[in-house]
Amino acid sequence: MTQPIEETYQQGFITGYPDGYFHPNQPVSKIEAIVALSKGLNLTTGTSTLSIPTAMQRVVPQKTAQKPIKARIFMSFVFTTLMQPLLISKVPALVVNAVSLNRPASFIITNTYADTNNITQYAVGDVAAATKANIVVSYPNPKVINPNKLATRGEITALVYQTLVSQGKIELIAINLPANRYVIWTPVHQKTLNKYDFIQHFC
C-alpha cells in the first residue's frame, strides 16, 4: 500500500506521527478517520458542526472535533461508532464513503464477499454501494471483508485513496504494484479492466 500512503500524504489527506513513521498497522481512532475521510471527500459545503461527546474531549482537541462536516453523512456513523470505544471498525468507514458518494446500492455483495453474513444489516446497502464504486480494499484476501475488524491507518488510507480515484482526483494504483490486487472490482468494472490484467485475483 506504499503508493496510496505516499500520494495521500503528499496531498495532505493523512499525516504521519512525530517519530517520523506512518504506522500503517496501527488501529485508527475515530477522529483520525473523520478528519481523513472528510478531507478526502471534500466535505466543506452544506455542513453543520459535529460535537464530540464529553468523554472524548479529554483526548481530542475540540477544534479538531468541530471540523465542519455534512451531518447527514455522519449521522449513522456518530450513533453507531462515536458513542462506543474510540477505535473504528471497517464497516462504519465504508458507510461514510458510500453515503457521501450518493451511489445506488444495487450491487449484490453476496457475490463479492465470503463473509457477507458478518456485515451489520444497517450497513449492507452502503457497503454494496461502496463496493460498486470500487472504493473497497481488502487485505490479505479480497473476498473476505472482515467488517468488524478494527480498521488500521493503512486501510483507512487505502479507502481514502480509492475514493479519490473514483472521483477522478488521483490516478489508479499502478497495475504492476501488488496493492492493486486487493482492490475490489465490480463485475461491470472488470469488463474494462480484464485486458489490463487488473483482476488477476478474481481468477
Cα(14)–Cα(166) distance, integer angstroms: 18
* pLDDT tens for each residue of 42-52: 544 444 444 44
Cα(106)–Cα(197) distance, integer angstroms: 25
Mean pLDDT of 163-167: 82
pTM (2 d.p.): 0.56
Burial of 27 (0-12, 13-18, 19+ CB in 10 A): middle
| Buried-state track 144-174, b at ≥16 Cβ within 10 A, e below 16 | ebbbeeebbbbbbbbbbbbbbbbeeebebbe
Quick one: what percent of the chain has pLDDT higher than 70? 45
Q: What are phi and psi of 68, to 5 degrees?
A: -60, 130
Mean pLDDT of 79-100: 56
- Containing structural domain, residue 45: 2-202
Question: What's the domain count of the chain?
Answer: 1
* Cβ within 8 Å of residue 81, ≥6 positions away: 30, 88, 89, 92
* pLDDT tens for each residue of 105-122: 545 577 788 988 888 777
Instruction: Indicate the DSSP class of residue 149.
Output: S
Query: Considering only 66-80, 90-104, 136-150, which range has the smallest mean pLDDT?
Result: 66-80
Q: How confident is the model at residue 40, as a pLDDT?
A: 60
Grid cell listed for 38: 472528510
Q: How confident is the model at residue 60, as a pLDDT?
A: 43
Using alpha carbons, select from 167, 170, 169, 175 the residue that is nearest to residue 195. 175
Number of helical H runs and strand E runs in the chain: 9, 2
